[in-house]
Amino acid sequence: MDSIKENDYVLLYLDEKRKYLVKAEKGNKFHTHKGFILIDEIIGKRYGSSVKSSSGWDFLLLKPTIRDFIIKLARKTQIIYPKDAGYIALISGITSGSKVVEIGTGSGALTCVLASLVRPEGHVYSYEMREEFFNLAKLNIEKLGLSNYVTLKLKNAKEGIDEENVDSIVIDIADPWEVLENAYRSLRDSGIIVVFSPTVNQIEKTVRALREKNFVDIHVTEIIEREYQAEPEKLRPKTSMIAHTGYITWARKSVE
């Protein structure tokens, strides 16, 4: 039986639009527009069971996934959405034990995805230039319990990448072509580089630079996500969708 322990995170689910990520800390109350919930009443319950608010509304107690954490993360930058993060994880070949460099930590959303994949034997080394982003990402990574698998570096990767023979490098900065030479040196032979860019102008410069730096098997992809209403009587696409978020460019290191 998977029961909720003190300091566990719980997804309080009222309906599709009203979901709240809370920490099971004794003595606390969580306030909603449907009344408050006593956290003490959550501790010891099974995930999948329910709890009543002070107004009599039933909230389901669900076990949060990495996606739930990412959607609810504190942020000061635009995060890489799950639809893009999943594709990046697949094409980069990142698995347990992988050694990964990330350039552009931002709020740490993708960092958390990568860290959850490389554990317990692998590691993520993430470079961020801005101290405010560095500090926020550190808090978010700690919140998910992934600190042991991430080394955050307050450093400009254009000045050099410390790690060698890494399996994959993921880049999310405005001028990725400026770090490709350092990335090439850091990657293992046939290692994979992935670049996330919001605009076509960035892609053009990135692809040209990848060819010049001896990368091969170059691809550019855009992921469009369209969700449907999960109601048998009204099954149709939702009126809103996550359309363009960015382009994903990826390639392999050639040594010839």
Average pLDDT over residues 166-185: 97
**Contact (Cβ atoms closer than 8 angstroms) between residue 154 and residue 128:** yes
pLDDT tens track for 191-206: 999 999 999 999 999 9
CATH number where 45 lies: 3.10.330.20
Helix axes 109-118, 82-91, angle to 10 degrees: 40
**Contact (Cβ atoms closer than 8 angstroms) between residue 69 and residue 112:** yes
Sort strands 50-52 and 29-32 into parallel, antiparallel or unpaired: unpaired
pLDDT at 243: 78
**Contact (Cβ atoms closer than 8 angstroms) between residue 194 and residue 248:** yes
At 239, phi and psi to the nearest 5?
A: -70, -25
Residues 102, 42, single domain; the answer is no
Strand order in the sheet with 9-15: 18-23, 9-15, 58-62, 50-52
In a domain, 99, yes or no: yes
In a domain, 146, yes or no: yes
CATH number where 208 lies: 3.40.50.150
Residues 142, 205, single domain; the answer is yes
Average pLDDT, the chain: 93
pLDDT tens track for 15-54: 888 899 999 999 999 999 999 999 999 999 999 999 999 9
pLDDT at 59: 95
Number of domains in the chain: 2
Q: Which residues contact 22 (CB under 8 A, 6 or more apart)?
A: 9, 10, 12, 30, 39
Binned at pLDDT 50, 70 and 90, residue 1 comes out as low
In a domain, 4, yes or no: no
Average pLDDT over residues 127-143: 94
Residues 145, 188, single domain; the answer is yes
Quote the DSSP letter at residue 204: H
Rounded Cα distance between 183 and 178, Å, is 10
In a domain, 14, yes or no: yes
Token pair listed for 240: 């809103």
